[in-house]
Structure 1
């Protein structure tokens, strides 16, 4: 069985160097927003404002991206916003989400930590949804596919995109701590993020539909908020 969807592969052949450069510009904008988010945490802003910023910043990024996207006259289907194979996409996303939950829990248990679960608040769920939507559209839907215009190799592009995806989770911790260091993220968190990337990547490539990857990402975000370790 061919894992990569025929339409997904067909889309890749359309992209050129200029598309790859646009993808890199998009990544730079995301990194800037991550540094800005980190700066907010160093201000005297209250908890509500900080939580609200986790909704507003993704919203602004999505709005700017879609303005840029439509000005480029690109087809919305090319970033996985379609109903093609949506049932399979959702099934794969759900399955991947629960497998990822098991992997995360197992990693903590292997470290000898006690794991318990709590219920996220409504605000948490709103944050999960917007964050997952932004990252799936920008990283899986747009950046990874357009990077093919610069690098003709799906596995190489996927690995590069996994590094880009991982890197955007550093700036907040760097700014808050006042220092740049590679171990700002825990090993478990790094492994979880990389597994998330490749799971979402696989779901999208298999179905050419982003909704399953989005659902998987929401489950991952929820799990991160639900797990309490001691």
Structure 2
């Protein structure tokens, strides 16, 4: 049970103290792998016609459903190394925040922590008389943000990299800031290719968003350490991305 004195503290599971220098190095290697996979996927999606050609070949009309399907191989490639490394290091799967105990509490926390971000969006949409996308697209969009964005990033950055890197960076808050910067930089390769502009121009134009992304990491780490369960952060992360996308 969370004590009142712990409300403003960030405490990871005791298992984090057991992570060694080797675990920290593995987290860096995994991060570099993650960046390469994201970059290559960006090239595949925006520098070739495969995305459009496959949709045409299989005659898929629902673009949101198709995007969900198209991202599945990327999701698998992003997550498989985590489970391999856990196996190699003989670590418990709970050490990356994959827990089933008190799952409803975690979901509740995720919803509560998303409220400061989604409330202004909802109020603005209502005041401007915006409509909501169709139910079918709502379902597919939610699954996309939950599985292929939030769950992947939470398991990768909050559950794996953030905990393991503390075997390399012993100062807790320094490690959180460093991973926050890493999390922010992770978005650059894919978005640069998508925007089709030079890297320096993208960084200048997107600087506020990059800083915000780093801050979001710190916020989600705080949420994660309420129960050390990525369900809470995955739910919150999903809603923060999902709600602004449902209005038209």
TM range (shorter): 0.7 to 0.9
User: 1:217 is matched with which residue?
Assistant: 237
- CA 1:97–1:55: 2 relative to 1, 3 Å: farther
Q: Which runs of 5+ in 2 are unaligned?
A: 56-65
Q: Which deviates further from its counterpart, 195-204 or 93-102?
A: 195-204
| Alpha-carbon distance between aligned partners in 1 of 2:122 and 2:183, rounded to the nearest angstrom | 22
User: 1:92 is matched with which residue?
Assistant: 109
Residues 65-84 of structure 1 aligned to structure 2 (within 5 Å): 65-84=82-101
Q: CA deviation at 1:84?
A: 4.2
User: 1:119 is matched with which residue?
Assistant: 133
* Length-normalised TM-score, structure 1: 0.83
Q: Aligned to 2:155, which of 124, 137, 153?
A: 137
Report the 3-state secondary structure (helix = DSSP H, G, I; strand = E; otherwise coil) of the residue aligned with 1:73: coil
Residues 86 and 207 in structure 1, CA contact (< 8 A), matched pair in contact too: no
Q: Which runs of 5+ in 1 are unaligned?
A: none
| Alpha-carbon distance between aligned partners in 2 of 1:134 and 1:67, rounded to the nearest angstrom | 15
User: 2:176 is matched with which residue?
Assistant: 158
| Alpha-carbon distance between aligned partners in 1 of 2:173 and 2:10, rounded to the nearest angstrom | 15
Residues 24 and 165 in structure 2, CA contact (< 8 A), matched pair in contact too: yes
Q: CA deviation at 1:39?
A: 0.3
Q: CA deviation at 1:123?
A: 3.1
| Alpha-carbon distance between aligned partners in 2 of 1:24 and 1:117, rounded to the nearest angstrom | 43
- CA 1:22–1:72: 2 relative to 1, 3 Å: same
Residue 180 in structure 1 maps to residue 199 in structure 2: yes
| Alpha-carbon distance between aligned partners in 1 of 2:204 and 2:71, rounded to the nearest angstrom | 23
CA RMSD between the two structures: 2.8
* Length-normalised TM-score, structure 2: 0.77
| CA-to-aligned-CA distance 1:151-197 (integer Å, 9 cap, x gap) | 1122111111111111111112222415212135362x335423432
Structure number with greater Rg is 2
Residue 34 in structure 1 maps to residue 38 in structure 2: yes
